[in-house]
Amino acid sequence: AQSVTQPDIHITVSEGASLELRCNYSYGATPYLFWYVQSPGQGLQLLLKYFSGDTLVQGIKGFEAEFKRSQSSFNLRKPSVHWSDAAEYFCAVGAQAGTALIFGKGTTLSVSS
């Protein structure tokens, strides 16, 4: 069965420091992978997606993610974090077309000054 694991429940990063949020997936075929961000009391916004081609994908707000098939990972990175990046981040994998994405439980990012 497909699943997504985000090992870190909560991460605190200093403003201006680099960020890496981890995501591991379990899926038998070629995965379709997504990262979303959620601000408090809001819906989820798509940051980026991977489905084929270059394993390093660029997204909005300066985020990028790297797909590593050998490690079943799709980690999200940002070279320099801003205070406005504080939010909850969700990794998701796409199953059959039309069915729901499978989400991890999320990682809460706090940014310290």
Partner 1 sequence: DGGITQSPKYLFRKEGQNVTLSCEQNLNHDAMYWYRQDPGQGLRLIYYSQIVNDFQKGDIAEGYSVSREKKESFPLTVTSAQKNPTAFYLCASRKTGAQNQPQHFGDGTRLSIL
Q: Which residues bind partner 1 (CB under 8 A)?
A: 9, 32, 34, 36, 41-46, 49, 51-52, 90, 92, 94-101, 103-106
Distances from the Cα of 98 to the Cα of 62, 87, 94, angstroms: 29, 28, 9
Q: Residue 48 Cβ, how far from partner 1 at the closest point, in Å?
A: 9
Contact 45, 54 (CB under 8 A): no
| Closer residue to partner 1, CB minimum distance, 30 or 113 | 30
| Closer residue to partner 1, CB minimum distance, 15 or 38 | 38
